Structure 1
Amino acid sequence: MVVTGMKLYLGHFRDVMARMLLALVFCLSLWFCPTSVQGQDVAVTLEKDQVFVGESFGMRIKVTGDDSPSEPVLSESQDFSVEFDGGSRDSRSSVVIINGRMVKNEESGYVFSYRLIAKRAGKLLIPTASVRTSGGVLYTKMHFITAVKPGESQDFKLRMEFSSAEAYVGQPLTLTITWYLAKDVQGFQFHLPFLNDERFRVVDFEERINPAHREEYLQIDVGGGDTVARKMRLEYKGREFTALRFRKVLIPKEAGTLRLGQSTVAFNALAGYRRGGLGGGLFDSFDDFFQGNMPFGMGRQAIYKKMVAPSNEPVVTVKELPSEGRPANFSGLVGEYRVAAEALPTEARVGDPITLTVQVAGPDYLEQVELPNLAEDKNLTRDFKVPAEIAPGKVNGAVKTFTQTIRAKRADVKEVPAIELPYFDVRSGRYKTARTQPIPLKIQATRVVTALDAEGREVQDISGSEIETWTQGIAHNYEDESVLKKEDLPPLIGFWPTLLLIPPGAYILLLVGTALVRRRLADPAALKFRAALREFNAAVSEIKSARPGSADYYAALLRALREYLAAKLRKAPAGLALNEVLADLQQHLVPVELRDRLQRLYELCEAGSYGGSELQSAQTPQDLVSEALILVKQIERGFR
């Protein structure tokens, strides 16, 4: 035991020293890399300097002196998952009058936005980046962030559970993820490392929605795309919770004891109240998710704090499939399967098409199920012509259906033989074969169609008759010139020259149209800039149809304002702060009176998104919308 412990300690010590050496070499190499060149520089801004493991945070890379740099190349990092969040020009100009002389200052730049999630606790090095600009290659400086491991909470639990603790390689397993909530929350983001686990193939679980409880289902983003989740009331360790549950299918690729890494969900949790308004949470918009069970206080404003709930780390023991008894046509199906077949029509002639339908039923996940190659089934190809390709199967509920066209070769064919589907039965630990029942057929010989059948005449006895010329019908040859009919054709003067001009004319129009489209798409930010006012008016029209005074009403108006200003200032809407907006508007010579009105409108909308109908303001919700329309039109004039 002591020797084993020393070996583990020495191995861990060598790993730590190797990582420290690599970090030192990397840091020294960055020491000599330029962060500025020829009036251009690059800088990194982090949204925060301390996060929870699994919590998403923003990072911005700003290039000054070049408004069209290449996308940064980030160094590889095992400590973070990185997602590109878009980029936008960050150019501005200002006019200053000094001693009666007008001086115009112009600054060009570009901002790249990213979302990062820390994978482990500790002081972590943010991935550095290199950016190619018109003046050369720039490198960002080193930045560190502290990641803290989230702790368990009595009010929030995240649990994952496999459908079975033991499995075989290739056996679909259902992983159920349940988030238990005892308090109201605002916004959430799942971090599920198993989605990128190379030991498993991860696929979506096809949730069968009960029409009687359709309101309990919703689409949520779990990092790998939208997933159907169900909201319900559940009991956990003797306490009743509101729960959000969804499932994924994991198919093991290798044998061994496989442990899933810790998953997390980050959210803003209700921490208390203060005087001011009615607090509204995330699930208020999900058809009164809590059904009045959560304590929302009238005349109070809810206070939320950032939290992260960690999951457990479920384990599954995966075994290799045995080689003994494995059928030659085994395709890798693991579980328990049933198969049935149907052929239509059951009465046909030799060579006529017969549609063979095969239905396979089995585990919850059937997408990976494929039939053995029917063109290599000797029992089937002995009596039927079978194409080498088969149409992809279609899953409908718990059944996957395949269709194939076959043709009988002879009139003595009596049936479609049984179709076999080999699989490994996990219950018995042996290979088995599911078979369809033979399908009886009645096959008739093919009738040969002759030339006389094509003419539609009966067969006549021609023995002893002389050859004579047919005087009517399809066999008669007409030789008299009187059958020719003279027709006058209209003159085509001017038609052919016009026809010849159509192709080059169409080509010129295509060139002009392509050039115009390319010119518009060359600068997406310019398109958003020109369409900003139209998009804002459209958003306001939708807001007017919402319930005035609700938290969603104010939040929608605030979102429309933010997206309009982001488009006019050529910035990304995500993370656009009010102070930054006001500073940029000042650079565009927007009067201070308009900036003050905008700041007041922002503050009222933010307060309304929390307080809802209890917003303490002399202005009605409709007054705020009218003020926003007037204010945006006045700001728009400053950009023309």
Structure 2
Amino acid sequence: MSAQEPQLAVEVDRRRIFEGESVRYRVTLENVENPAEPTLPEIDNNFIVERLGNQTLNSRQITIINGRRSEVVRFGHQYDFRLTPKAAGTYEIPPPTVEVDGVLLEGTAVSVEVRPPADQETVFVEMSADRTAVYPMQSFTISLTIAVRDLPGELSDRSPLSVQGNQPVSVRIPWLDEPLPDGLDSDQTWRDILEPLIHRSDSFRGATDGFQINNIGSQSVFSMFGRDVTTFLPPAKRTERTLQDGSMAAFHEYQLQRTFTPQTTADVTIGAVIVKGTFATELAGGRLNGEEIYAVSRPLPIRVKEVPTEGRPSTFNGGIGSFQTAAELSPTTAAVGEPMTLSVRMTGRGTISDLQPPKIAEIPEITQHFRTYDATTESVPNGKVFTFGLRPLTSNVQEFPPIPISWFDVQQEQYVTQTTPAIPVSITEAQQLATSEIISGAPLPRSELRTSDSGLFANHSSLSELKSENAQLRPWLVTWSAMILVWAAVVVGVRIVSARAGDPAAGRRQAARSTALNRLSAAVNSDHADAQTASEVPASAVKGLIADYRNVSTAGMTSADAGQCLAEAGVDENLQQRVQQFLNDCDAARYGGDSNRADELPITARQLISELAAALEKRC
């Protein structure tokens, strides 16, 4: 089968949306094995762009008909984005592009119509923040207000959310239970906010009261309440609003709040809230008439500011938030020149990862009495500990000086400095020994020299007792030769090891067997291994072993490629055939769903890995 041409496909899930809603924008690159990520068009002026992730579409399909085996391989990659229009209008999204093998591929343009909500005065959706510009680690609270006009006539005292039957008003709040934007955190979960608001109706007729929020339903976490639809009813406040014609109208106002804390200086946008449902607008003939209404708030941008450089003290160590400091010195009694250890602990709530050691080497009161060494850093719960090595330079010191440490306090919106208390110390002069106190080691025993008046042979009766004083070179030559041989062996060994360490192919061959067995064991011992994994991993382990010994790429290796590698290495034909049969069995188990065969594959793979390693070790 000839290779198909690369293609770049573009699609959106909807072409027409209301203002505040989003579209899913998908870019699919087909017939490309190792693609680069496509380049999106410049649409930031009209859309808020969020990456939703990407996934591979690579697949292999094996068909066996009348004993003839055919294989279809597909390559592809998919990229998903969420686009939220900033205003109503019709927008054309230009085509994305990607370069493949030096050729620029271009997708297609798509258009999206963004309709504004209909002009109505029954439902108002508003978002506000207690702060719209904050510093990192400075919390802010988002307040959502949904104002629903009172029911008409004598029904005005009833909840305007209680007349929708079993089709409650739907509310989508993207910042409640969906993943938060990068760099934004919250101590509150959606359960903390919504569970106290679950409405327990006293009616047995299926009537509801409240909002259905983010499709959180009773079939999941709230099944204990026994309803098909779970509603949430925030406390209502009765208010009046001025309408466009100048008249006053009564409303029920419902409010939800959530507090967020930015972790970085990246600006964030709180997504718009959408309300859909049927609302009663008039009472005629004793019956309520309703109107389908779509209402949406505006997105709420929050600016996260850098901490100011003006007024920043030299003792600022990168902390933003609120912290406490403490210092310990051990020992507090020492002689001049003896080692001491200083530990500075900084804990609290803030940018822990940005904390740096205090600059004690820049404090004159410390450096004139102590020699300082660079700090080591240890992470502890909610903080860090900085450990310094010290040596006193003089005995003329009674305390280790205080250490000033500064950070930016987001509550006060200013830099604050905290100083550790001084630590009393007792430093003595180093002990010095007089010359007379320095003694040498005990003398070795020695015998007294005596002269012999009887001549050289006076005390020796045999010439054999006399030893020649000439230099004996043979023993020395043997010793030197042995040392040279040992040195040469060490040099050769070091060069061999260095050569292997610098040879990636040799490293792959050396680790091939253990890598394959570890990959196989990890999958077999996994509690989450499914049938597909049980057939894919054994084949991948065997192919990986062959690729490592032959120093070729594992990615995309087919059964035919593996057989070709074994043939080139001169592996026994019987072993080649068994490997081919094993890989075919893996494919059949994967695509044919033969779970009984899949259970046997890891055992066969382990045996083949041992035999292949022994065979390839001799030939590679």
Return the TM-score normalized by structure 1.
Answer: 0.46
Return the TM-score normalized by structure 2.
Answer: 0.47
Higher-Rg structure is 2
